[in-house]
Structure 1
Amino acid sequence: MGRVVVGIAANESLDAGENLHHLSIAYTPSGYVKAVQQAGGLPMVMPIDSADMAKEYVARIDKLILAGGQDVSPRYYKQTKTVQGSYLEKRDQFELALMDEALKQGKPVFAVCRGMQLMNVFFGGDLKQELHSYTEIAHMQNPIPKEQPAHELLTQKTSILRSIYGKQAEVNSFHNQGVNRVAREFQEAACCSDGLVEAIENKPRRLLGVQWHPDFAFTTQPKEMEVFDYVVNAL
């Protein structure tokens, strides 16, 4: 049997900066790629494409990762835009199509940060468009280094995350939006001490979403590498 092929849905930048001659690039943070490799999987980066191509992409992978990035457009959870966020609707459209195909083809999905928010929206949940009025905890931890935990994580007893993180742990945090109403298809798997949802899961459908970034810290925080081991080898 060959290695497990893990598709990583990529992001896009219209200007990669002076060092890359201001080129438009398709990319994914290398933490996803390296962590999947370290867990024994074969990563496949999938650039943003039209929604009708999602079936072919998903057919070529065993598992799907929806990564972090821009805010999810409020139109997909039936709200009016109330904050000036960073949006890329063609990414939303393609990744919603990937999600749909992953379900149809029975492929597991691991969703990180924006990815978790998008997965919740796909199933009918919605988001808090800004967190400043919700909590005093800084969920966007800059300038704290990305590998350093920033707030508490409280896992649910029935969650698979309990076996990795224990009842209580600390994780990093890089988001200015968050899950509000959890879609009915999911169980809340973990939360922050302020009550904000930090993880959702659907075990029968093999869906797991986390709000923090294990891809930022898998080389320095062993539990974050354990998550990728679980995704590649067990999810």
Structure 2
Amino acid sequence: MLKIGISSCFMYPDPARVVFGPKTLSYIENDMARYVAPKGVLPVLLPDLEEDLLDDILYEMDGFVFQGGTDLAPQSYGEKPIGKWHGDPQRDNYELKLLKKALNSGKPVLGICRGMQLMNVYFGGTLFQDTATQCQEVLEHRNAEAYDRVMHKVRFTSGKILSKIYSGCDGCHVNSIHHQSVKTLGKHLEVLAECPDDGIIEAIGYTKAPEGMVMGVQWHPEFSHTLGDRVIDAGKLYHHFLEQVKARKSDDL
């Protein structure tokens, strides 16, 4: 069975919360849990532990998924917050540490939404703190009411891995549930996809790893079932990731 480590989302102490109000909770959203756990895959939620304990757990993992959630804190990429966008510095510290260890392991890494933005920041890139107000002539990439029913076209970079996974997919759509996006691309990263209507970066890959081994997407494949065949097949992306995981694991045997 393949073991896939998944970064945690956090809920911090909140006296108004009925359950475990004064405690910090680590969690995974249920659609994500279902997406990363087809038959033969054991999803493992990775807690924020002491270094040596975390190392022991990560050693047992075959691949890593960094899930979406809260904004990255602007100070994590050397900027000051604008307006209300303060982000989640505690989660940033945890996930940046986790990503470093995952990359050093040489095992496959997939970042989803925030997870893609995290990769960009890790490699020295920056973000638009609020795409709608900081970018001109930009599409609506997030609508709180419509949520995972928002979609737009995606254009895959010719010759790169996503154009191969989604061969012949011209004018295809992805969902869109983000208000932050890549501003300056990090070192050793390349653009794998963008929104053709406004140029927002929709997928990135790490050029120092084998093709497709480390990449991130801005959309939420785990929510694609909401729009069905109106968006690209989310299973193809995860199938590719698992094939990378299997190949990497066989190299260790």
TM-score (norm 1): 0.88
Residue matched to 2:76: 76
Checking the alignment, whether the CA contact within 8 Å between 2:76 and 2:89 is kept in structure 1 is no
For residue 60 of structure 1, report the CA deviation from its aligned partner: 2.0
Residue matched to 2:178: 175
Residue matched to 2:238: 228
Tell me, in whole angstroms, the C-alpha distance in 2 between the residues paired with 1:16 and 1:141. 28
Identity %: 29
Residue matched to 2:199: 195
For the residue of structure 1 that corresponds to 2:26, the secondary structure is strand
For residue 53 of structure 1, report the CA deviation from its aligned partner: 4.9
Residue matched to 1:97: 97
The amino acid of 1:209's aligned partner reads G
* 1:167-214 Cα shifts (integer Å, max 9, x gaps): 331111111110011113111000012001000012552111000100
Residue matched to 1:55: 55
| Bigger mean CA deviation after superposition, 194-203 or 34-43 | 34-43
For the residue of structure 2 that corresponds to 1:83, the secondary structure is coil
Is 1:215 the counterpart of 2:222 in the alignment? Answer: yes
Residue matched to 1:185: 188
Tell me, in whole angstroms, the C-alpha distance in 1 between the residues paired with 2:224 and 2:207. 25
Tell me, in whole angstroms, the C-alpha distance in 2 between the residues paired with 1:164 and 1:30. 26
Tell me, in whole angstroms, the C-alpha distance in 1 between the residues paired with 2:221 and 2:39. 13
| Bigger mean CA deviation after superposition, 221-230 or 151-160 | 221-230
Tell me, in whole angstroms, the C-alpha distance in 1 between the residues paired with 2:112 and 2:22. 26
Q: Which has the larger Rg?
A: 2
Residue matched to 2:6: 8
Tell me, in whole angstroms, the C-alpha distance in 1 between the residues paired with 2:111 and 2:118. 8
| Bigger mean CA deviation after superposition, 207-216 or 80-89 | 80-89
For residue 18 of structure 1, report the CA deviation from its aligned partner: 5.8
* 1:17-44 Cα shifts (integer Å, max 9, x gaps): 7674647421111222212222632111
| Bigger mean CA deviation after superposition, 190-199 or 31-40 | 31-40
Tell me, in whole angstroms, the C-alpha distance in 1 between the residues paired with 2:181 and 2:105. 28
Task: Pick closer, same or farther for the CA change 1:17–1:34 going to 2, 3 Å.
Answer: farther
* 1:35-70 Cα shifts (integer Å, max 9, x gaps): 222263211111233566543332121111111111
For the residue of structure 1 that corresponds to 2:131, the secondary structure is coil
Checking the alignment, whether the CA contact within 8 Å between 1:155 and 1:168 is kept in structure 2 is no
For residue 110 of structure 1, report the CA deviation from its aligned partner: 0.3
Task: Pick closer, same or farther for the CA change 1:91–1:214 going to 2, 3 Å.
Answer: same
How do 1:17-166 and structure 2 match up within 5 A? 20=19, 22=21, 24=23, 25-38=25-38, 40-50=40-50, 53-85=53-85, 87-133=87-133, 134=135, 135-144=137-146, 146=148, 148-165=149-166, 166=169
Checking the alignment, whether the CA contact within 8 Å between 2:48 and 2:54 is kept in structure 1 is no
Q: List alignment gaps of at least 5 residues for structure 1.
A: none
| Bigger mean CA deviation after superposition, 161-170 or 27-36 | 161-170
